[in-house]
Amino acid sequence: MSGLDPGTPAAAAPLLTWRPRLTVRLRMTLSYAGLLVIAGAVVAAVVYGVMRYLPNYPLTAANPRDQTPVPTRADLLDTIVTLSAYALIFLAVVGMAGGWYLAGRMLRPLQEITLAARRAAEGSLDHRIGLTGIKDEFTDLSDTFDEMLDRLQRSFEQYRRFAANASHELRTPHAVMKTMLEVAIADPEHTDVRELWRRLQETNQRGIDLVEALLTLASVDNRAIELDPLDLATTARQAVDELRPEAAAAGVTLTTDLEETLVVGNEILVHQLVTNLGQNGIRHNTGPGGTLTITTHDHQLIVANTGPVLTPEQTSTLTEPFTKTTGRHTGSHGLGLALVDRIVETHHGRLTLTPNPTGGLTATAQLPAATL
């Protein structure tokens, strides 16, 4: 038969594969000892080469009465070869012992970094290396690794809170609809069907809005966006026109100071940025009589609104998903400023949230300038 039997393996795999493991410490030790032996051999070779230029005839003492034997060149060369061999053996032993000790001291910080990396791989992110002493490559690596662990720990904690809050927020509309339906089924005669439909529609719309907000937040985090030069004032003006009806309905006075300024950004996301900041300023305002001001200049979008007094501690957590503050708008999901922060971060910009002394918030989004 020209083919292989399907039940017969094509090739027998080896039962045991052994590969010698040369650690970095052992290789450094061998390198130290090898360099020491090579240096000694070079010196011995130089001395041997120089001694070959001695006269080859028997040497005699300058004083005829001195009967001390004088070695010949051959005797000297034999002695040099013998002593050089012993010296090279001694240098090899010293090089191995000293190299093993020095390599261990040099690689001790690397062992601590390896231990921290192994613990991080097992899921423990609270261990830090914190190398001290002379600033060198190992301390740089240690500081970089500690910084990476800090960022990973913060990210995992944020995503853990995000998952817990998202599951709670997604469960709430369904639980509310289930309760309303159970009440209606238990007492159908005294149920206002139109009111039930209205409340079910509102609750269902809340769930839809939440899912759309979560999808938008995920798409900003996971997709690559195209950045082009655009006029921030023009994009902001379009978003402001869409915000005016909501501001009027809430009794919030909306004013603008839109100065032309060119930035690098994605028009859709920048429009979403202005919209979210504007909606946040309207929905978390003081209600009728409140103000909202949107300004653009020097590659910045500044949105300031009146509202409840916020502490710096409260302001520092506003960009976390599902963080809510007091305000007239009770249907907020707490994702508006989280999405704003992601958009600004995607544009390699900087978002600053500053509580106003008299109440409310001033949000400043710094975007990269466009070069013509």
Q: What is the helix (H) or strand (E) element at residue 262, kind and residue range? A: strand 262-265
Measured torsion, CA atoms of residues 163, 168, 173, 174, in degrees rounded to the nearest 10 = 90
């002593």: which residue's tokens? 83
Q: What span, in angstroms and rounded, lies between the C-alpha atoms of 243 and 273?
A: 12
Rounded to whole angstroms, the Cα distance separating 121 from 32 reads 33
Instruction: Measure the CA–CA gap between 321 and 218, rounded to whole angstroms.
Output: 12
Residues 6+ apart with CB under 8 A from 28: 99, 102, 103, 106, 107
**47-73 burial: b if 16+ Cβ within 10 Å, else e:** eeeeeeeeeeeeeeeeeeeeeeeeeeb
pLDDT tens digits for the chain (372 residues)? Answer: 444 454 444 445 454 454 556 677 788 888 888 888 888 888 888 888 887 776 666 666 666 666 666 666 777 778 888 888 888 888 888 888 888 888 888 778 877 888 888 888 777 777 777 777 777 777 888 888 888 888 888 777 767 766 665 666 667 677 778 888 888 888 888 778 888 888 888 778 767 766 766 666 666 655 667 788 999 999 999 999 989 988 998 899 999 999 999 999 888 889 888 988 998 899 888 878 899 999 999 999 999 999 988 888 888 878 776 666 555 454 555 667 888 888 888 888 999 999 999 989 999 999 999 876
Rounded distance, CA 89 to CA 39, Å? 13
pLDDT of residue 353: 92
Question: What residue segments make up the domains of the chain, in order of their start?
Answer: 24-58+69-124, 161-222, 228-366
Contacts of 322 (CB under 8 A, 6+ apart): 161, 162, 165, 166, 169, 333, 334, 335, 338
Distances (CA, A) of 34 to 31, 85, 199, 266: 5, 15, 84, 60
| The CATH number of the domain covering residues in 161-222 | 1.10.287
- Phi, psi (deg, nearest 5) at residue 368: -65, 140
pLDDT at residue number 26: 81
* Strand-pair partners of 255: 293
Tell me the two tokens of residue 138. 């190992």
How far apart (Å, rounded) are the C-alpha atoms in residues 299 and 61? 97
State the pLDDT at residue 136. Answer: 75
3-state secondary structure of 271: helix
What is the model's pLDDT at position 233?
94
Provide the CATH number for the domain formed by 228-366 in this structure.
3.30.565.10
